[in-house]
Amino acid sequence: MKILITGASGQLGTEIQRQLKNGGSALGPVPERLKNATVIATDVNELDITDRDATIAFVRRHQPDTIISCAAFTNVDGCESNPEAAFKVNAIGASNLAQAAERINARLIHVSTDYVFRGEGNKPLDESERVDPKSVYGKTKALGEEYVKNFCHRYFIVRTAWLYGYAGKNFVKTIVNAGKKFGKLEVVSDQLGNPTNAEDLAHHILQLAVSHDYGVYHCTGEGICSWYEFASEIIRLSGVDATVAPCTSAEYSAKHPAAADRPAWSALENRMLACTVGNQMRDWKVALADFFAHWNGE
């Protein structure tokens, strides 16, 4: 099998490549059909997914069986200040990859986000919930989902949340570094969701890559917590000498007026995984502890 990965240098793209190279993850082996897969790893310097003709030509030239789209404009605040760039990458980029995949009858695995939901409620959201984003990031990702559905019939839309991994920037590394630098942190306590280890997400994406159970999936760590609880556990596991205090979203917004609105409730339920390839996503505390057991601190 031949797999094309876009956004390959990010934390998820890097993790997918690691598992394909090593033959598995902490959750188990990669599917048998992927053990000798040919991997085409690309990023914006080689493939600009906002360029339709270039994207279609690149995909036609390499003829992948599966495209895993990890490329996205994920800076939530940056999307608010630069909506045109967010639209090009998150919506038009998704459209171009979907059209390219359809032309060669390839599978497309498109990674999306909990931000497609408004963030209201008190129960985990499954794949049947209606999307209703409020931020520019969420709106552009939701439109990207629609383009994938419209232009490609062999698709998997995989929504995740609060992602962290060994490569790239993420909340875990930010909290560790801020704890070392400042010693005292304030973190929002009234926004709840599911921390997700990139290793767990990559494992399930590779299971989907050999299935025919197309559709929309949620793929997040099990268990729900606030950003404050997440940060507190990060500091505890890191051993950094720092304290974490809770604050409200309103208090945070008053200090950071340019920040985009975040969902107050974005906890997802992995119902489709459980009904198809299986839900092996670990409890968020277990997955976070495993991350610290293997992270080299960089």
The catalytic site residues sit at 137
d(CA 205, CA 277): 10
| Cα–Cα distances in angstroms (integers) from residue 238 to residues 28, 173, 245, in the given order | 26, 10, 17
Helix axes 171-182, 227-238, angle to 10 degrees: 70
Q: CB-side exposure of 185: number of CA atoms within 13 Å?
A: 26
CB 100 within 8 A of CB 147: no
Structure tokens at 284: 């968020």
Which residues 6+ apart lie within 8 Å of 97 measured at CB?
Answer: 6, 49, 55, 59, 67, 69, 108, 110, 148
